[in-house]
Chain A
Amino acid sequence: MTILVVAEYENGAVAPATLNTVAAAAKIGGDVHVLVAGQNVGGVAESAAKIAGVAKVLVADNAAYAHVLPENVAPLIVELASGYSHVLAPATTNGKNILPRVAALLDVDQISEIISVESADTFKRPIYAGNAIATVQSSAAIKVITVRTTGFDAVAAEGGSAAVEAVAAAHDAGISAFVGEELAKSDRPELTAAKIVVSGGRGMGNGDNFKHLYSLADKLGAAVGASRAAVDAGFVPNDMQVGQTGKIVAPQLYIAVGISGAIQHLAGMKDSKVIVAINKDEEAPIFQVADYGLVADLFEAVPELEKLV
């Protein structure tokens, strides 16, 4: 059994999500190969070769794979897939964009966002916004799977010494093109990888008030998230959204400030180790999942909290 992991990368190195995905591959068992597809990704391949437990790194460095457009990258993965029992990718926006296209080209079902590996063909995944856990079994010759990164502890980024092999195949469907991107800039840790997350909801009142959360987060070394209500109200950009339709986080500590706790939001954070809720409505559903709840006005409680930590 050999498993192909499609690497997620940023700033010239593999992203943390890749390390969680390799961990899931290791649970399945067998050799783990990592595919790095993109343009000028030599550095990424080098960092992938150092990941503990990776046997081989395949590099497809071609202008067609820049910005990992699925129309071009999916045929590449399909071409490589015949040698593999499993194709895995992290359930990031890239993984979710590409892998279903790969699965359909291979004529197999895809399994989305697994949270555990029961055996080489059986996996658990959440459905209904995390309100039920399904155990699914695949009879596909090549199992195509996205991995919920918070479900698996990352493998070590250093210590491996995999061979790096270039893949010559160039697929350019010529039906899509990258136009531009607008990335949110932040010095804080990445939301899905942060140990502590401070999130604000509609109770923040406006975007300006999020500065209270930013200064608390900076003191804690935390990332800042938001509920859909806060994003829809325009307080913060959408890439900060935690929930079924946003990002899934499972930090050591999640502090929900002015968030009622709708099903949609809970789907994105209820696997956090410790949940703290600060809300002035003592009936808010968030208190049903919070380990520590504080019924208070957030505009008094948050600055005080910042002072005390």
Chain B
Amino acid sequence: MKVLVAVKRVVDYNVKVRVKADNSGVDLANVKMSMNPFCEIAVEEAVRLKEKGVATEIVVVSVGPATAQEQLRTALALGADRAILVEAADELNSLAVAKALKAVVDKEQPQLVILGKQAIDSDNNQTGQMLAALTGFAQGTFASKVEAAGDKLNVTREIDGGLQTVALNLPAIVTTDLRLNEPRYASLPNIMKAKKKPLETVTPDALGVSLASTTKTLKVEAPAARSAGIKVKSVAELVEKLKNEAKVI
């Protein structure tokens, strides 16, 4: 089957972000950017499906700025066959991304689309579900295990109380949870080879997609800072403070 994987360029997960002084957003100038960790897991899962002989071709797609080509090249180095960049503005809402991905799905006709469960910048956790709605496909969100079973896909999902397994008709949408797999590192030869793999750039206009949105961000602020605490010397002092000062036990 053909597998489509969506990846997002985000600020690296180790970076402590700073809010801009004018409260218009988060300062991303000169900040290290990487592939969203959940997207890396999505790429890895697709590559493993190909290694098992389940997937035949892996197409990786990103909706974002021209610089997202770096993350697409990373995905190609990890084992994707070709890449598509839908070149658009930096900050898009999930629905706009889902609409752009829907247009790519219509064109590519994949049997399976794998996305991360959420991007660590916007923390929305929406795009996969929205793409499933727009395409009419079944969805297996927060997946910690994916198994092809004939014309169905068994997906084990992480839910609040534990795990749940669902069987999805293909084509289907899967979003990855952290425990799905451990992504591999790209080797230098593979990084070199990835430079020769095809990367197509399209615009939302060419796909006939409107990126209009019903939500706007009015301001972005730093969260209330916690006041500095104290260090206690012994367990007895800790218990005394919790009982008499904080009054929480």
Contacts and interface: CB of A to CB of B under 8 A. Distances in A.
A292 to B, nearest CB: 6
Interface string B217-246: 111111100101111111110110110001
Interface string B191-209: 0000000000000000000
Nearest to B229: A291
A196 B248 CA distance: 8
B178 interface: yes
Q: How large is the interface on B (under 10, 10 to 19, 20 to 34, 35 or more residues)?
A: 35 or more
A135 B121 contact: no
Given A108-B95, A129-B123, A295-B231, A136 B161 contact: no
A94 B161 CA distance: 11
Given A103-B126, A110-B126, A182-B163, A138 B138 contact: no
Contacts of B157: 93
Contacts of A290: 229
A137 B213 CA distance: 11
B192 to A, nearest CB: 32
Nearest to B122: A127
Q: How large is the interface on A (under 10, 10 to 19, 20 to 34, 35 or more residues)?
A: 35 or more
A256 to B, nearest CB: 12
Interface stretch (B9-17, B42-50, B57-65): B9-17
Contacts of A109: 93-95, 213-215
Given A290-B229, A305-B235, A181 B164 contact: yes
Contact of A134 (B94, B167, B178, B217): B217
The main secondary structure of chain B at its interface with chain A is mixed
Given A110-B95, A176-B169, A276-B242, A101 B133 contact: yes
A67 to B, nearest CB: 7
A127, A178, A181: residue with the most chain B Cβ atoms closer than 10 Å: A127
Interface string A168-189: 0000011111111111100000
Contacts of A70: 129, 132, 139, 141
B120 A244 contact: yes
A166 interface: no
Interface string B161-172: 111111111000
A232 interface: yes
Contacts of B132: 70-71, 101
A294 B240 CA distance: 13
A152 interface: no
Contacts of A296: 235
Interface string A185-221: 0000000100010000000000000000000000010
B106 interface: no
A181 B163 contact: yes
Nearest to A289: B226
A183 B163 CA distance: 6
A92 B235 contact: no
B123 A127 contact: yes
B168 A175 contact: yes
A40 B222 CA distance: 45
Contacts of B141: 70, 93, 96-97
B159 A93 contact: yes
Contact of A239 (B120, B158, B216, B222): B158
A188 B179 CA distance: 25
A105 interface: yes
A137 B248 contact: no
Nearest to B38: A245
Contacts of B165: 178-181
B37 to A, nearest CB: 9
A181 B159 contact: yes
A2 B35 CA distance: 41
Contacts of A158: none
A246 B111 CA distance: 29
Contacts of B93: 109
Contacts of B144: 238
B130 A103 contact: yes
B124 interface: yes
Given A101-B130, A109-B94, A244-B120, A134 B16 contact: no
A109 B133 CA distance: 13
B154 interface: yes
A270 interface: yes
Given A71-B138, A237-B162, A291 B246 contact: yes
Interface of B: 11, 13-14, 16-17, 19, 26, 93-95, 98, 117-118, 120-134, 136-139, 141-142, 144, 154, 157-169, 177-179, 213-223, 226, 228-236, 238-239, 241-242, 246, 248-249
Given A131-B17, A183-B162, A245-B177, 9 more contacts: A108-B95, A109-B214, A112-B124, A128-B17, A176-B166, A181-B159, A247-B160, A294-B231, A294-B234
